[in-house]
Amino acid sequence: MVRIQKLPSGQLVVTIPKVLAEYEGLKKGTELEFKKHKDGFILKIKGVNK
C-alpha cells in the first residue's frame, strides 16, 4: 500500500512498500517524478542515492 503523509511543514511524504523499493534498488532520499496519466500517475525514478 502506498501512503501519503503531510508533515507539519506542509511537505508531503510518499511511502511505498519495502519489497518494491528493494526490487528497484531504491534508498531513502531517492528522487522520483510523477506524471499524470489518464488512469492515475506514472512514477519515474530520477536518481538513486547510494
- Radius of gyration over every alpha carbon of the chain, rounded to an integer in angstroms: 12
Averaged pLDDT for residues 22-35: 88
CATH code of the domain in which 27 resides: 2.10.260
Q: Name the band, by pLDDT with cuts 50, 70 and 90, for residue 7.
A: very high
Q: How many residues does the chain have?
A: 50
Q: Please give the mean pLDDT across all residues of the chain.
A: 88
Phi, psi of 34 (to 5 degrees): -105, 135
For residue 43, the enclosing domain spans: 3-47
- pTM value is 0.60
* Residue 7 DSSP one-character state: -
Q: How many domains does the chain have?
A: 1
